[in-house]
Amino acid sequence: MSDPRDMYQCQIANCGFVYDPEKQSRKSKIPLGTKFESLPSNWKCPVCGASKDKYRPVTGPGSVLQDGA
């Protein structure tokens, strides 16, 4: 599993998909190890189709855990 600082969680209601650079979605053509910041700007959540701006880091400043979400 990746370091939680490298993981991002979708903030769309009823989704909660966590982008982990060490896991590969069957639908994704993104190489393993790709950091969230390096994903193409048009990348979409493989579960709900949300854009990158709907994601927040799992840990650190502005994160899901920091805000208690």
Please state the domain extents for the chain: 1-69
pLDDT classification of 13: cutoffs 50, 70, 90:
confident
> For all residues of the chain together, what is the average pLDDT?
84
CA dihedral 67, 61, 2, 13 (to 10 degrees): 40
- C-alpha span between 50 and 33 (Å, rounded): 21
Q: Is the pTM of this model over 0.85?
A: no
CATH code, 1-69: 2.20.28.10
- Nearest one of 41, 40, 11, 36 to 23, comparing CA atoms: 36
pLDDT at 18 over 80: yes
Amino acid 58: pLDDT: 86
| Cβ-contact 53, 3 below 8 angstroms | no
